[in-house]
Amino acid sequence: MKKYLRLIWIELRKGKEYSLNFVGQLVNLPLQLLIIYFIWKFVFQSKAAIANYTFNDMVSYYFLLKIFESAIMPVGITAYEVWSDINQGRLNLYLSKPLYYPLYGFFTKIGYFIWGFAAGFIFLSVFGLIIPITIKLSVLRIVLSVLSAFFGMVIMYALFFYVGSLTFWVENILTLRDNLWNVIRVLSGQIFPIALFPGFLRVIAENLPFQYIYYVPVSILQGKLSGSLLYAELGKQFVWVVGMVGVMVLVWSVGNKKYSAQGG
């Protein structure tokens, strides 16, 4: 386990990479959020609330969403990394070392997760001075929300690892990866909160794991989920995590045997 924890430390020390990414966010995110702010300000001109979301709720949802995106979105590179390692033969280097490849890949992403949250909260603190939003945070909500976001990162990693692992059987998985991105954008609450979805689409979203990537962690931090409902959702999310990790291990085991049988 020490070698995997060392991977986190190595990623955290790559400060320049994350610093440049943060500067890029400072340039890009204000414009995105200003557009979102004025769009919803126009929508709420004649309405006090939509699906139990006030104007302040809606704006704070997208502000918080940007924090979670900063921490979790980098995991999406997993499919490309696995595809590239298999196609270019670099997988042999990992298989010759005392490392479990899926675990190795996951721990390299934890550095992104930590830096993403740090950068996101700094950004929110600064930009919150420009656009007035009210977010009532508590220590318990922050802890449970970060825990949920971590589970969400595991789900995201497993999804893209599945796609990358298909390289054992098919030559190009990049189109499938792009389609997965689009599905996640819709069903994870990246475009709209799932509470705003029409009935049939909301039922679908609430019975799939995608909502646990962004929508549920943000809803916990906003206080939209509380009490027994909050812990029930965390329980469901944990079940999804265990199941998806189990499938990931199985897919890797079968694919790796195929790869080894072909001589790499």
> pTM of this prediction?
0.87
Neighbouring CB atoms inside 10 A of 230's CB total: 20
- CA-based nearest residue to 122, from 26, 32, 13, 35: 26
The pLDDT tens digits for 169-211 are 988 899 999 999 999 999 999 999 999 998 889 999 999 999 9
The reported pLDDT for the residue numbered 12 is: 54
The reported pLDDT for the residue numbered 1 is: 61
Euclidean distance between CA atoms 77 and 236, whole angstroms: 26
Position 68: which residue type? F
**DSSP code of 46?**
S
The reported pLDDT for the residue numbered 66 is: 85
Q: How far is CA 75 from the centre of its chain?
A: 7
- CA-based nearest residue to 163, from 185, 148, 139, 179: 179
Structure tokens at 158: 């497993």
Euclidean distance between CA atoms 19 and 25, whole angstroms: 10
The reported pLDDT for the residue numbered 231 is: 94
Angle at 160 (CA atoms; ends 158, 165), nearest 5 degrees: 90
The reported pLDDT for the residue numbered 47 is: 83
Neighbouring CB atoms inside 10 A of 4's CB total: 15
Helix 78-87 vs helix 174-187: crossing angle, to nearest 10:
170
The reported pLDDT for the residue numbered 2 is: 63
Q: How far is CA 65 from the centre of its chain?
A: 10
The pLDDT tens digits for 51-81 are 889 888 898 899 889 889 888 988 999 999 9
The reported pLDDT for the residue numbered 121 is: 73
Strand partners, 50: 53
The reported pLDDT for the residue numbered 238 is: 97
3-state secondary structure of 50: strand
The reported pLDDT for the residue numbered 14 is: 57
Question: How does pLDDT run along the chain (264 residues), one tens digit per residue?
Answer: 665 555 555 555 555 555 555 555 556 667 777 788 888 888 888 888 888 898 888 988 998 898 898 889 889 999 999 999 888 888 888 787 778 888 888 888 887 788 777 777 777 676 666 666 777 778 899 899 999 999 999 999 999 999 999 998 988 899 999 999 999 999 999 999 999 998 889 999 999 999 999 999 999 999 888 889 999 999 999 999 999 999 999 999 998 887 764 555
Euclidean distance between CA atoms 250 and 243, whole angstroms: 11
Euclidean distance between CA atoms 153 and 178, whole angstroms: 18
